[in-house]
Amino acid sequence: VGRKHRPDCTFSWLCVALMSSLLLLLLALLLGIIISSEYLGRGTWGRGGRQQLGTGRGEAARPSSSLTHQQTCGGTLQGPEGSLSSPRYPAPYPPNTLCIWRIQVEDGLAIQLKIESLSLEGTRWCLFDRVELDPCPGFCGDVAPPTINTNSNQLRVTFVSDNSVGALGFTAHYRAILPSDKSCAWDEFFCDQGLCLDLGLVCDGFHDCTDKSDEANCKCGGSLTNLEGQFSTPSHPQPYPHQQLCIWQIAVPVGHVIDLQFHNFSLEWQEDCTFDFVEVHDSAGTDAPSLLGRFCGSQLPPVLTSSRHVMTILFMADEGVAEDGFFATYHARNATESRCLEFSCSNGECQAWESVCDGWHDCPDGGDEFNCTSVSPPSFESSCQQIQVEMCLGLSYNTTSFPNIWLTIPDQQGAATMLRDYKVLMGLPCYQHLHLLICSLFVPKCTPDGGVLQPCRSVCLTAEQRCQQALSLLSILWPINCNVLPDSNDPVECFKP
Going by C-alpha positions, the residue among 365, 362, 199, 190 that lies closest to residue 279 is 199
Predicted pLDDT at 364: 67
What is the spatial distance between Cα 270 and Cα 112, in angstroms, rounded to a whole number? 25
For residue 372, name the pLDDT band (cuts at 50, 70, 90).
low
For residue 7, name the pLDDT band (cuts at 50, 70, 90).
low
Angle of helix 457-473 versus helix 431-442 axis, rounded to 10: 120
Q: Looking at the predicted structure, is the pLDDT value of residue 139 above 60?
A: yes
Residue 345 has, within 13 A of its CA and on its CB side, a CA count of 21
Nearest 5°: the CA angle 379, 381, 387 is 110
- Mean pLDDT for 322-328 is 90
DSSP string, 292-325: EEEE-SSSPPPPEE-SSSEEEEEEEE-SS----E
**What distance lies between CA 378 and its chain's CA centroid?**
43
Predicted pLDDT at 52: 29
Locate the domains of the chain by residue range.
75-183, 222-334, 385-495
Fold exhibited by the domain 385-495: Frizzled cysteine-rich domain (1.10.2000)
Q: In this structure, are residues 332 and 252 in contact, taking their beta carbons and an 8 Å threshold? A: yes
What is the spatial distance between Cα 303 and Cα 433, in angstroms, rounded to a whole number? 38
Q: Terminus-to-terminus CA distance in the chain, angstroms? A: 111
Q: Which residue has the higher pLDDT, 376 or 59?
A: 376
Q: Indicate the CATH number for domain 222-334.
A: 2.60.120.290
What is the spatial distance between Cα 185 and Cα 198, in angstroms, rounded to a whole number? 10
What is the spatial distance between Cα 245 and Cα 315, in angstroms, rounded to a whole number? 6
Flag the least confident range among 4-8, 370-374, 387-391: 4-8
Predicted pLDDT at 69: 38
Q: Looking at the predicted structure, is the pLDDT value of residue 239 above 70?
A: yes
Q: In this structure, are residues 223 and 284 in contact, taking their beta carbons and an 8 Å threshold? A: no
- Mean pLDDT for 252-266 is 91
CA distances from 3 to 6, 9, 12 (A): 10, 18, 21
Predicted pLDDT at 4: 53
Flag the least confident range among 187-196, 237-246, 353-362, 401-410: 353-362
CA distances from 212 to 197, 201, 246 (A): 12, 12, 16
Predicted pLDDT at 260: 94
For residue 348, name the pLDDT band (cuts at 50, 70, 90).
low
- Mean pLDDT for 370-379 is 56
Q: In this structure, are residues 278 and 314 in contact, taking their beta carbons and an 8 Å threshold? A: yes
Predicted pLDDT at 477: 76
Q: Looking at the predicted structure, is the pLDDT value of residue 42 above 60?
A: no
For residue 1, name the pLDDT band (cuts at 50, 70, 90).
very low
Flag the least confident range among 39-43, 236-240, 404-408: 39-43
For residue 34, name the pLDDT band (cuts at 50, 70, 90).
low
Would the CATH topology of 75-183 be identical to that of 222-334?
Answer: yes
- Mean pLDDT for 54-71 is 36
Q: Looking at the predicted structure, is the pLDDT value of residue 288 above 90?
A: no
Q: In this structure, are residues 105 and 111 in contact, taking their beta carbons and an 8 Å threshold? A: yes
> Pairing state of beta strands 277-281 and 228-232?
unpaired
Q: Which residue has the higher pLDDT, 153 or 137?
A: 153
pLDDT digits (tens, 9 = 90+) for 387-396: 888 888 888 8
Flag the least confident range among 175-179, 248-252, 380-384: 380-384
Residue 213's DSSP bridge partners are none
Predicted pLDDT at 354: 64
What is the spatial distance between Cα 138 and Cα 135, in angstroms, rounded to a whole number? 9
What is the spatial distance between Cα 467 and Cα 478, in angstroms, rounded to a whole number? 8
What would be the CATH architecture of the domain defined by 75-183? Sandwich (2.60)
Report the chain's C-alpha Rg in angstroms: 33
Containing H/E element for 27?
helix 9-42
| Percent of the chain with pLDDT strictly greater than 70 | 80
pLDDT digits (tens, 9 = 90+) for 420-436: 777 777 778 888 888 88
Q: Looking at the predicted structure, is the pLDDT value of residue 192 above 90?
A: no
- Mean pLDDT for 108-135 is 87
pLDDT digits (tens, 9 = 90+) for 277-287: 999 999 887 77
Q: Looking at the predicted structure, is the pLDDT value of residue 10 above 70?
A: no
Predicted pLDDT at 337: 65
What is the spatial distance between Cα 19 and Cα 30, in angstroms, rounded to a whole number? 17
Predicted pLDDT at 56: 34
Q: Looking at the predicted structure, is the pLDDT value of residue 2 above 60?
A: no
Q: Model pTM?
A: 0.42
What is the spatial distance between Cα 111 and Cα 125, in angstroms, rounded to a whole number? 26
- Mean pLDDT for 123-140 is 81
Residue 68's DSSP bridge partners are none
Mean pLDDT of the residues in the chain? 79
- Mean pLDDT for 177-181 is 92
Q: In this structure, what are the phi and psi dihedrals at residue 424, rounded to the nearest 5 degrees?
A: -70, -15
